[in-house]
Amino acid sequence: MKSTPLSLVAGVVALAAVTGFAALTAPGDEGVTEAKAAARLPVERSSLLCPAPSTSDLADTTYTSFTPAGEGGGEAGAAELTPAEPLPADEDTPADKDDEAKKDDKKDEDAKGDKGDEDKAADSKPVISLKGLGKPATAETSKSDAPALVGTATGSFAPGWAAQQTTVAAAGGARGLLGASCTAPDTDFWFPGASTGASRQDYVHLTNPDDTAAVADIELYGAEGALKSDVGEGITVPARSSVPMLISTLTSEAAENVTVHVTTRTGRVGAVVSAAEDEVGSDWLAASADPASTQILPGIPADATSVRLVAFAPGEDDADVKVQLMGKNATFSPAGNSTLHIKSRMTASIDLKDVTRGEPGSLRLSPADGSRTPVVAALRVVRGTGAKQEVAFIPATGPVGERATVADNRAKGSVLSLTAPGETAKVKVTTSEGSEGGSASVKTYTVKSGTTLEVTPEIPAGLKGGYALTVESESGGPVHAARTLTLKESGIDMFTVQTLPDDGGTVEVPAAEQDLTVLDD
């Protein structure tokens, strides 16, 4: 007699119950039942990581957290950002010093231990927590030793959760406006546009959100290929910690344009590059979109005085790409730079100078020879001249998809760039309530095919504090977006650019049902 092993039955039942992604069906008299279409459902949990903001005593950082109002998430949940590592203690008080001098006194030791437990508990408190949907929450710090942050959103706060840290460094070698959208942990990151040159101080920040250590590798590629490095392998990132690595210490070779590749052997990390350039400024360089044959780099400011494209082909084949600027009214190729040849596993760059010539623009890279060799790319953008220069970086980014958000916007200085590389598209832009007051507003924009539309967001009525911007696709082709934030400091128009890829607030969940008749004889 044929029998079914008990272990097999238990395994199949567990698989069906836990994953919910597969339907176990058996053919009947009428054949196999047709599978139901997958549904898109809101995510129930999101994770974000923010790097340590600055080591300058002259820097002020604002954290902003936001989840768009709307359906999804189920239970109420929460969204919090907490220190990735214990905050450094303040200077010892006289009482603490006295306790230290009386180490042999057990009572004092016990009291000191209790105080340490209280400090540890205080350090683990959230730096910022969301109180509701559709309204940003903010927090500020001016500490030079402020830590990286690890964040989790659950329930209704998870779909579309966004966070940003914005740092103003008023003076010093790293002066500038540094903006970073906090990112989800991953295992693979590409950063074209970094440097090991003498005028640059670039750090890779690796943040581990998990309770076990992660091990990462950092590879560097210059114009001639891989840069020799004996210390970029097997970097341990302790549990719930952040490790900054000065890129120039990973190799003895100086290169103006470098592509940084971060991967993990075990675990996952958040990765971002801080770049400071002598006499020019500083900003964060976010990871490029995954390697692809076509890349879009949106949001080049109209008054850019210098634009440098840095690209890299990670595969075994060279890439020849068309370089096109999608301007205010049409798409065209920059004079003398219509194509770029990128050798396999070598970093290529071209100086596009003031390519926008007074109009906003976005760059499109696409195959020039019919091949589909994947590439990654980023732009180094400078505004101003002489002592009033400031720098920012724009990585290649994916489309806004269903929805994308940038959390930190101000009453003055926020500009949104929208570009449609394919068909004409229509998008809905929502300006949220203010963090301290103000009413949300909604406006719809049409972006013509092959052009870039620059808009000043409609400021929330009665705005107090900052606000969030959410872009949603309504019809037509894909739209890529970036937000430029400009703040005037010490006579310099300091700026930073954040791209707006799809927030991943929903996921496809295939229809599933259990049918144990498959276990019948």
DSSP letters spanning 307-364: EEEEEEB-SSS-EEEEEEEE-SS-EEPPTT-SEEEE-BT-EEEEEEESTTTTS-EEEE
Question: Which of 83-92, 122-131, 433-442 shows the lowest mean pLDDT across its residues?
Answer: 83-92
106 burial (CB, 10 Å; 0-12 / 13-18 / 19+) is exposed
Checking if the pLDDT of 515 tops 90, the result is no
Which CATH code fits 295-395?
2.60.290.11
Checking if the pLDDT of 38 tops 80, the result is no
What is the model's pLDDT at position 218?
A: 98
Checking if the pLDDT of 36 tops 60, the result is yes
What is the model's pLDDT at position 517?
A: 61
What average pLDDT is seen over the chain?
87
The Cα–Cα gap between 465 and 79 comes to 20
Decide: 35 and 47 in contact? Cβ < 8 Å.
Answer: no
The Cα–Cα gap between 367 and 350 comes to 17
Residues contacting residue 316 through CB under 8 Å, at least 6 positions apart: 344
Question: Which of 164-173, 317-326, 436-445 shows the lowest mean pLDDT across its residues?
Answer: 164-173
What is the model's pLDDT at position 172?
A: 78
How does pLDDT run across 362-396, given as a tens digit for each residue? 999 999 988 899 999 999 999 999 999 999 999 99
Question: Which of 108-112, 443-447, 450-454, 486-490 shows the lowest mean pLDDT across its residues?
Answer: 108-112
What is the model's pLDDT at position 99?
A: 41
What is the model's pLDDT at position 128?
A: 97
Residues contacting residue 221 through CB under 8 Å, at least 6 positions apart: 227, 258, 259, 261, 312, 345, 346, 347
C-alpha distances (whole Å) from 414 to each of 74, 443, 463, 464, 467 are 33, 16, 14, 15, 10
Average pLDDT over residues 150-172: 95
How does pLDDT run across 252-296, given as a tens digit for each residue? 999 999 999 999 999 999 999 999 999 999 999 999 999 999 999
Domain boundaries, the chain: 6-38+511-519, 44-285, 295-395
Residue carrying the six token digits 């009386």 = 102
Question: Which of 178-187, 495-504, 508-517 shows the lowest mean pLDDT across its residues?
Answer: 508-517
Query: Does residue 314 come out as left (phi exceeding 0), alpha (psi in the -120 to 50 range) or beta?
Result: alpha
How does pLDDT run across 60-103, given as a tens digit for each residue? 999 999 999 976 545 789 999 999 974 444 333 333 334 444 34
What is the model's pLDDT at position 58?
A: 87
Pairing of strands 162-169, 149-154: unpaired
What is the model's pLDDT at position 460?
A: 92
How large a percentage of the chain has pLDDT more than 70? Answer: 83
Smallest CA-to-CA distance from 421 within 502, 359, 366, 491 is with 366
The pTM of the full predicted model, rounded to 2 decimals, is: 0.86
Sorting pLDDT into bands at 50, 70 and 90, what band is 19? very low
Q: How many residues appear in the chain?
A: 521
How does pLDDT run across 455-482, given as a tens digit for each residue? 999 999 999 999 999 999 999 999 999 9
What is the model's pLDDT at position 56?
A: 86
- What is the dihedral sign for C-alpha 291, 295, 298, 301? positive
Question: Which of 178-182, 389-393, 418-422, 510-514 shows the lowest mean pLDDT across its residues?
Answer: 510-514
